Amino acid sequence: MIVDADAHVVETERTWDYLDESEKKFRPQLFQSADNPSMQYWFVEGKSVGFRPPTLTEQELIALSKETGRELRTAPEARELRDVELRLAHMDKLGIDVQILFNTMWIARVADKAEAEIGLCGAWNRWMADLWKRGNNRLRWSCVVPAMTLSEAVQQMRLAKENGAVAVSLRPFEDDKHLVDPYFYPIYEEATRLDMAVAVHIANGSPQLLEQFKPRYDKMGGFAQFRIPTVITCLSLMMSEVPKQFPKLRWAFVEASAQWVPWVVKEATRRSGTKGFPKLPFKEFKIYVTTETNDDFDYVLRYAGEDNVVIGTDYGHTDASSEVDAIDIFRANDAVPDPIKKKILDDNPRTLYGL
């Protein structure tokens, strides 16, 4: 089984047809930029929220692929899952048996009100449950949860698990809270009980940090806003009591590459001093990381271990992580032995996501 451990679905206005009647007052509206027609923005109750990638034409995708040197082309009907069969056919062409689907909009904060967050998360999860039923069990997914209301988050996790979800998505920072905060323990307890992974996908739910790290004078994009918080959270997790509190819980750090793994392992080891630290902390703490095709695999595997690395395509997006044919490129990498390739493409993601 070849598993794409990080793929996406891009929300459309139809996503919000799954809102309950009482929640329709929170229905997001999509507005197009007058200055740049490829840019669209979600608004909830008059405020710009969440994240929406550029809407590029076929020709623009071809040009961007040539500019970046990475294949970025996907059909809009496939990336938005308006046509499930088209998505599955493209997966067949790419040699992918199963994709793990992550949201797009929740890369940034989607609501200020707890009631709105409950409604939006519930609608997205019901939408994904419907898509999973039509996807021949090949479109597994990571649910979104209303972190402001933990009792509702737990309920939505249960419904998601019954309908094809394999993980629960949490951002490195949720407003002023970091993921090692005991506040999140009820989610970790439920994820353990349901045998779901906790997926820390690059994102940022802190408006303050997003504004602070907004690129103003350079072209580094979301590196500081989204990637760095993900790395920080992995180090914090390893240095915290959370892995001891929840020893069976599996963790995924998604879409930040894996090149940083040696750095944080060395950092954690040094900071642990004479107390000692596991030689392979990712294995010890059940932490998995998504790699990218240009990572230094020999170096990364030395610190992450060959049993805790997976790979994804970032299907549907067009940022620095995206590479639609990443699986084929990785397969052709002669520097990685075939038995390790099998682990990264098959064994490891099946263990991580409980497939």
3-state secondary structure of 60: helix
CA geometry: angle 102, 145, 2, nearest 5 deg? 25
Mean pLDDT of 66-75: 93
Least confident of 184-198, 216-230, 254-268: 216-230
* Residue pLDDT, tens place only, 280-323: 999 999 999 999 999 999 999 999 999 999 999 999 998 889 99
Q: Which of 188, 49, 152 is nearest to 105 (CA)?
A: 49
pLDDT in tens, 129-186: 999 999 999 999 999 999 999 999 999 999 999 999 999 999 999 999 999 999 999 9
pLDDT band of residue 206 (cuts 50, 70, 90) is very high
Inter-helix orientation angle 228-239/261-272, to 10°: 30
Q: State pLDDT tens for residues 104-127.
A: 999 999 999 999 999 999 999 999
CA 131, 133, 137, 141 torsion-angle sign: positive
pLDDT digits over 26-37, tens only? 999 999 888 888
Q: Residue 245 pairs with which residues in a beta bridge?
A: none
- Those residues whose C-beta lies under 8 Å from the C-beta of residue 128, and which sit 6 or more positions away, are 9, 101, 141, 143, 160, 163, 164, 165
Instruction: Report the DSSP beta bridge partners of residue 200.
Output: 253
Distances from the Cα of 88 to the Cαs of 48, 122, 148, in angstroms? Answer: 32, 25, 35
List the domains of the chain with CATH numbers.
3-24+77-353 (3.20.20.140)
Give the bridge partners for 144, in sequence order. 169
| Structure-token pair, residue 88 | 């599955």
Quick one: pLDDT at residue 87? 98
Torsion of CA 76, 18, 319, 352, to 10 degrees: -110
| CA atoms in the 13 A half-sphere facing the CB of 345 | 22
Region 42-46: what's the mean pLDDT? 94
The Cα–Cα gap between 324 and 222 comes to: 20
pLDDT number for residue 276: 83
pLDDT of residue 221: 81
- When mean pLDDT is compared across 20-24, 109-113, 274-278, the lowest value belongs to 274-278
Is 274 a residue whose pLDDT tops 80?
no
What is the spatial distance between Cα 37 and Cα 55, in angstroms, rounded to a whole number?
Answer: 8
Q: How many CA atoms lie less than 13 Å away from 74 in the CB half-sphere?
A: 32
Q: In the sheet that 251-254 helps form, which strands lie side by side, from edge to edge?
A: 3-8, 98-102, 139-144, 165-169, 197-201, 251-254, 287-291, 309-311
Q: What does residue 165 show for φ and ψ, rounded to 5 degrees? A: -75, 145
Residues 224-261 pLDDT 10s: 999 999 999 999 999 999 999 999 999 999 999 999 99
